[in-house]
Amino acid sequence: MKKNTTMKHKVLKDIFGHNSFRELQEEGVDAILNGQDLLMILPTGGGKSLVYQLPTMLMSGISIVVSPLIALMQDQVASLKAQQISADMISSAQSRDEVDEIIQRAYDGELKFLYLSPERLNNQSTINMLRELNINFFVVDEAHCISQWGHEFRDDYRALGNLRENFPKTAICAFTATSTNLVTEDILRELRVENPLLLRGKIFRKNIFISLQRRVGGQYDQLKAFLSRHKNESGIIYVSSRKKAEDVSIYLNMNGYKSLPYHAGLPAHIREQNFKIFVNDRVNIMVATIAFGMGIDKSDIRFVAHMSLPKSIENYYQEIGRAGRDGEDCEVLLLFNAADSIQHKRFLSDIINADYREHLGQKIDQIYKYATSEICFHKQLAEYFDNSLDECSDRCDNCIDDSAKRQSITKEAQMILSAIYKTNQNFGKNYIIDVLRGSKEQKILANGADELSVYGIGMHLGKKEWFVILERLLELRILDVGEFSVLKLTNSAIDILKNKKEVLIKSSRLQIEVKEKKIKRDSELEYDEALFENLRAKRAEIATKLGVPAYIIFSDKTLKNISADKPKDKTAMLMVNGIGEKKFEQFGEAFLEVLTKLS
């Protein structure tokens, strides 16, 4: 054992260049060296790959690594080869001759690592080939893909449980950066591991500063303010669509930044080229969809920005985890609004499985609740992944924003608590709000709620404001949610009802929600009404000359978008919803003249 200890530290230093192990790494290495099944949950940047790469260097045979993406496998194989460690991969992008050559090298004992996709590993011919190899252990990377309760579930990953059946005496070692207790149980069950060592790292990464802002009309101004703190630093900007990736990259390049887009719509060779240019620091910023995904091994990323709400907390945590993998300080920004979650939910309608559809809908609700909460963002992340953490005090907006103006919602809180009490704690959010707002819904009237003293006492606020206040009470644990989403009073509620304790909320939080309600009712976005009228006049002028209806030029909605964003050039104009290249060629310059004159 002493020899093993000496050798693993020698390999750690000589091959991987580290003087010591990071948290939990050595325990994982020892488990693999002892032939034990392993599940390791370690945040991005925690050094998961070293845990399985180092033991291979001390063991005979070859390690088989299952990985979900070709780009991820290419990156890891290139990294190993750069360290003069023999590794290769088999993918659908290779010719039959190339695959045969790699397999022969594996048969000849020339490879220490062979990377495979789960699709290929679930092929019987691949299983037969692997039976001819001296396999020391299997690695299942990005193991959360196994679980139907995870955020990146893949059918081919689910079938990896067959590894135990086909290779009963070979250890299985699974790794992931994100896993709730439910997902963890699913991974262990589906892989059929035996007496595994479970290593779970701490979620909190103190080198990341988390910032969240509601996205407003001039979102590019918000982005530029953020980027001004990271001049000449490497970073990733995540966007919701291929078009956004192209548009934002163009905008940045027009404003003095060096960026490239990355999305699934680009030809594979362009994606690969852009990736290499970014990794090699020839551009600072990658503007990407989630196609720029798992396993990005660039350690000096100093910032990550999201231009809209991710689909889940797991997605968000993995994506911000790409910042600061070197342990140095970094910053992440999330720009969001309520429309993001609505948009995400629209895509759920195509999912046939009702339970899975509901599960994904809950994840969307959870990330929106996270974004709007006043609780430490790091603490929320930790608790979501079943860790415990005190408030970070100085590593997120919610903890340093002591100067934020707060207002009392004690009166409104008492109204909610009274309504819950008087309805015997038997109902959920919507019902309680309907009672407070004097709804005439049949269920309200049938239950006799219109005869309660609390009926209609909350007419001064809209539904959205009441939802914000309810969320605040849940955050403060004044309320709890029971079975069937029923609201329950906690012991803290008594102090509120007896005026022994005040309930405060950030003014900006409540006011923004009220403002959004007004905006949605009036026009769905805030815009410059005077500018809008001038643009309408120009539209009428052009329409008259061409002899066409005004809406053929631009719709009112497009003019309102222009009035909100106030683009100053073609690049910015093309980012406005409703304007494409053709429309700009026809009419863009005329409308830019109006904007220039009024600026």
Residue 523 has pLDDT above 70, yes or no: no
Instruction: List, in sequence order, the alpha helices (H) in 376-409.
Output: 377-384, 397-400
Q: Of residues 114 and 520, which shows the higher confidence score?
A: 114
Q: Measure the CA angle with vertex 113, ends 108 and 115; round to 5°.
A: 110
Q: How far apart are CA 89 and CA 507, in angstroms?
A: 55
Residue 296 has pLDDT above 70, yes or no: no
Instruction: List, in sequence order, the alpha helices (H) in 373-475.
Output: 377-384, 397-400, 410-422, 429-436, 442-446, 463-475
Percent share of the chain, pLDDT over 70? 90
What would the DSSP string read from start to end of 508-569? Answer: HHHHHHHHHHHHHHHTSS---HHHHHHHHHHHHHHHHHHTS-HHHH--HHHHHHHHHH---S
pLDDT in the model for residue 130: 94
Q: What is the CATH number of the domain that holds 505?
A: 1.10.10.10
Q: Pick left, alpha or beta for residue 487 (phi over 0 → left; psi -120 to 50 → alpha; otherwise beta).
A: beta
Q: What is the mean pLDDT of residues 81-102?
A: 86
pLDDT in the model for residue 178: 80
Q: What is the mean pLDDT of residues 303-330?
A: 90
What would the DSSP string read from start to end of 146-198? Answer: G-TTSSS--HHHHGGGHHHHH-TTSEEEEEES---HHHHHHHHHHHT-SS-EE
Which residue type, as a one-letter code, is found at position 244? Answer: K
State pLDDT tens for residues 420-478. Answer: 999 999 999 999 999 999 999 999 999 999 999 999 999 999 887 898 899 889 878 89
Q: What is the mean pLDDT of residues 33-51?
A: 89
Residue 509 has pLDDT above 70, yes or no: no
Does residue 13 share a domain with residue 158? Answer: yes
Among residues 150, 140, 149, 144, which one has the least CA distance to residue 115? 140
State pLDDT tens for residues 257-295. Answer: 999 999 989 998 898 889 878 877 889 999 999 867 655
Q: Are 64 and 114 in contact (CB under 8 A)?
A: yes
pLDDT in the model for residue 513: 39
Count each helix (H run) and each strand (E run) in the chain, helices first: 30, 17
Find all residues with CB under 8 Å of 112, minimum gap 6, and list them.
56, 57, 62, 63, 80, 85, 86, 87
Q: What is the mean pLDDT of residues 185-190?
A: 90
Domain boundary among 158, 182, 200: 200
Give burial (CB, 10 Å; 0-12/13-18/19+) of 9: middle
Side-by-side strand order, sheet with 113-116: 87-90, 113-116, 62-66, 135-140, 171-176, 38-41, 197-200
Does residue 135 share a domain with residue 45? Answer: yes
Residue 354 has pLDDT above 80, yes or no: yes
What is the length of the chain? Answer: 599
pLDDT in the model for residue 550: 62
Does residue 178 share a domain with residue 245? Answer: no
Does residue 583 share a domain with residue 556? Answer: yes
Q: What is the CATH number of the domain that holds 66?
A: 3.40.50.300
In this prediction the pTM is: 0.64
Residue 510 has pLDDT above 80, yes or no: no
Domain boundary among 339, 367, 400: 400
Does residue 185 share a domain with residue 245? Answer: no
Residue 547 has pLDDT above 80, yes or no: no
Does residue 314 share a domain with residue 239? Answer: yes
Does residue 164 share a domain with residue 79? Answer: yes
Computed over every residue of the chain, the mean pLDDT equals: 85
Residue 151 has pLDDT above 70, yes or no: no
Domain boundary among 400, 433, 467: 400
Which residue type, as a one-letter code, is found at position 268? Answer: A
Identify the domain containing residue 320 by its residue range: 208-400
- Neighbouring CB atoms inside 10 A of 89's CB total 23
Does residue 373 share a domain with residue 255? Answer: yes
Q: How far apart are CA 545 and CA 483, in angstroms?
A: 65
State pLDDT tens for residues 358-414. Answer: 888 889 989 988 998 888 999 999 999 888 899 998 899 888 865 567 789 999 999
Q: Of residues 16 and 461, which shows the higher confidence score?
A: 461
Residue 515 has pLDDT above 60, yes or no: no
Lowest mean pLDDT among 70-84, 194-208, 473-487: 70-84
Identify the band that residue 4 occupies on the pLDDT scale cut at 50, 70 and 90. Answer: low
pLDDT in the model for residue 262: 93
- CA terminus-to-terminus distance, the chain: 75
Does residue 237 share a domain with residue 174? Answer: no
Number of domains present in the structure of the chain: 4
Residue 512 has pLDDT above 50, yes or no: no
Residue 518 has pLDDT above 60, yes or no: no
Does residue 490 share a domain with residue 555? Answer: no
Does residue 272 share a domain with residue 190? Answer: no
Q: How far apart are CA 338 and CA 315, in angstroms?
A: 18
Residue 2 has pLDDT above 70, yes or no: no
Q: Are 438 and 419 in contact (CB under 8 A)?
A: no
Half-sphere exposure (Cβ direction) of 440: Cα atoms closer than 13 Å: 0
Q: What is the mean pLDDT of residues 574-578?
A: 74
pLDDT in the model for residue 578: 65
Find all residues with CB under 8 Å of 68, minimum gap 6, and list them.
117, 118, 141, 142, 145, 152, 154, 157, 294
pLDDT in the model for residue 446: 93
Lowest mean pLDDT among 337-341, 433-437, 505-509: 505-509
pLDDT in the model for residue 220: 86
Look at the block and give the residue holding tokens 């135990």. Answer: 164
Q: What is the mean pLDDT of residues 539-549?
A: 75
Does residue 138 share a domain with residue 92? Answer: yes
Identify the band that residue 12 occupies on the pLDDT scale cut at 50, 70 and 90. Answer: confident
